[in-house]
Amino acid sequence: MSSLTARSLTGAQRAVTWRQGRFIRDCRCFFTSVPECRFVPKTRKMGPSSSPSSSFSSHYRCFTVSSSQRTSASSPAADQKTPSYSYVIIGAGSAGCVLANRLTEDAQESALLLEAGPKDRWLGSLRLSWKIHMPAALTYNLCDDKYNWFYHTLPQANMDNRVMYWPRGRVWGGSSSLNAMVYIRGHAEDYNRWQREGADGWDYDHCLPYFRKAQCHELGENRYRGGNGPLQVSRGKTNHPLHKAFIEAGRQAGYPFTDDMNGYQQEGVGWMDMTIYKGKRWSTASAYLRPALGRPNLKAEVRCVTTKILFDGNRAVGVEYIQNGQKKKVFAEKEVIVSGGAINSPQLLMLSGIGNADDLKQLGIPVIQHLPGVGNNLQDHLELYVQQQCTQPITLYKAQKPFHMVKIGLEWLTMFTGYGATAHLESGGFIRSRPKVAHPDIQFHFLPSQVIDHGRVASKIEAYQVHVGPMRSTSTGWLKLKSTNPLDHPIIQPNYLTTDIDVWEFRQCVKLSREIFAQKAFDPFRGPEALPGPQVQSDADIDAFVRQKADTAYHPSCTCKMGSPSDPMAVVDSNARVLGLEKLRVIDASIMPSIVSGNLNAPTIMMAEKAADIIRGRPALVDSGVPVYQPPTLDTQR
């Protein structure tokens, strides 16, 4: 989900290092009195002589691999000792951190976690890494490439040929360290649809227990919520009058109130859940990785760009990666697990010879397995902002002025409270775009502020806005390798707005948002419309506005589709195993068969929890017959 508050008034602020002789340039932000530096920890020496545990020394060990044993894995220095672990996990993001924790709960197994970016804390300090851990500071890293892959798409023909900016996390926690911390699971029917699409055992009855297992909700445990999991989930604390107005206006427009969008009833307007704990972002690095770092059977490395999966025939045996300019190799005794996300996971598979054989041959990549679905089926959520000027000075406009930013920052740094302790997306909703739609296909995130260009441009007026977009667009895209260089970003083609129904649904998004903003609850606050603006009235005008202003909600997915082996576009089976290969899995948002109706962080964490049980051979958790809200009639969307 998109961008929000406390951020540099000059826009994107480039991270800098002492080593490179660069300094943080925005002197209007008081935090710049402390320069940032990139900290690369020394490699931890492990082995029988230095291991803190004798049990770990049997898992982290060195051995000689001859070329006759592993042809694809061999190298000129094949007789040199190479480290080996039970599992090698690529990517310390929303899925990878979960897997690193759960798989090393078994002291008899070991895991190496490779992350391309740095740790999420500088010198171990939350406060020194405030750009990640202060919830309101999220746009700093959304607009900076220090912790961010900073991807861009091809020009979009149906969006005025705009090149779309796609931030993705490159840091411990992955995009859970960059996102807006909105905790949304999607609708039960999303998971039942997965089952129908070939993901056997991934229906709602089998997914809900893993949502609960992951979650620790501040409101306590019930049939839908978890109360003892690692992932802390909370509600907003600002009690802002504009959030109350939005919820009341939604009810006045005919939509129900829901007290839990992740529980019995997704449909309606209400209060959002957020992955914020005691005023701090609660990423998967905080929830899963850091509590496991003390285990002797887990090693986590940073600044490691994985370049290739190594094979012995059709069996994955390890990976090659680059760290600090040096090419390294590691072997996996049990499995290689790819958790790089919807962009990096298919990119690594293709670099390793897994994908469309014709495309790989054109680049001179030896084909390990022809799977044309790799990189295809790309799905994302688009959204746009409907903005209304506010007649009262109660929005976050003043909070973004330098003096107020200092006050907010100091309160957060000293007590982790105040306006810095929230991303301010505290209310929202899900509605149906039209009659006969079985479950909500439009999502709202309400914000008591104005956002311009991902937060890279300063708010100019007192205003409030709703982020609105369709949840199940029918346009799908693809990504391909630009070259064989693993450091080159892939070519990304989302193919936004290529179908008539997608265009129509966005038109509805604008019309229905305006209808809510016109309700009596907003009478004390409503000024002129800022976006789209009163001049935009006809369908043609609205369509033009959508083409000009719609942008990604930061939810790429489905590029390594889970499905039946008979599906020509499937990449992994229902156990997340890459089809046709052994000891190789992909576990992250890329394996979603289709995108869910909501934000993707919570579903990705759930998938990793469930996959960890699959890998460990545990019986699947299931909770059959959980009640799910059904609208009283489908003859209207109200």
Which pLDDT does position 80 carry in this prediction? 59
CA dist 621 and 635 (Å) reads: 36
Which pLDDT does position 455 carry in this prediction? 81
Pair of tokens at residue 407: 């006050």
CA dist 93 and 79 (Å) reads: 34
- Name the amino acid, one letter, at 58: S
- Give yes or no for a contact between 372 and 449, defined as CB atoms under 8 angstroms apart: no
Backbone angles phi and psi of 391, in degrees to 5: -80, -10
Which pLDDT does position 37 carry in this prediction? 33
3-state secondary structure at position 413? helix
Helix and strand numbers, DSSP H then E, in the chain? 15, 27
CA dist 9 and 26 (Å) reads: 8
Which pLDDT does position 16 carry in this prediction? 32
- 204-214 and 188-196 helices, crossing angle to 10°: 130
Average pLDDT per block of 10 residues along the chain, 638 residues long:
36 34 34 32 33 36 33 42 97 99 99 99 95 95 90 99 98 98 99 99 99 99 98 97 99 98 98 99 99 99 99 99 98 99 99 99 99 99 98 96 96 98 98 96 98 84 98 98 98 99 98 99 99 98 99 98 98 99 99 99 99 99 97 89
Kindly list the distances between the CA atom of residue 255 and the CA atoms of 265, 268, 506, in Å, as whole numbers in the listed order: 12, 5, 19
Neighbours of 158 (CB within 10 A): 18
Which pLDDT does position 144 carry in this prediction? 82
- Please tell me the total number of residues recorded for the chain in this structure: 638
- Give yes or no for a contact between 168 and 149, defined as CB atoms under 8 angstroms apart: yes
- Give yes or no for a contact between 61 and 112, defined as CB atoms under 8 angstroms apart: no
Can you say which residues are annotated as belonging to the binding site for FAD?
171, 179-182
Mind listing the domains of the chain with CATH numbers?
Answer: 63-121+285-371+558-615 (3.50.50.60)
CA dist 636 and 254 (Å) reads: 10
Which pLDDT does position 50 carry in this prediction? 34
- Name the amino acid, one letter, at 557: S
What is the reported pTM? 0.89
* Residue 558: closest CA among 592, 516, 587, 526: 592
CA dist 198 and 193 (Å) reads: 9
Catalytic residue among 243, 454, 467, 555: 555
Is 555 marked active-site?
yes
The residue with tokens 């993001």 is 93
Show the 3-state SS of 31-84: HHHCCCCCCCCCCCCCCCCCCCCHHHHCCCEEECCCCCCCCCCCCCCCCCCEEE
* Residue 188: closest CA among 638, 624, 636, 537: 624
* Residue 449: closest CA among 463, 437, 436: 463
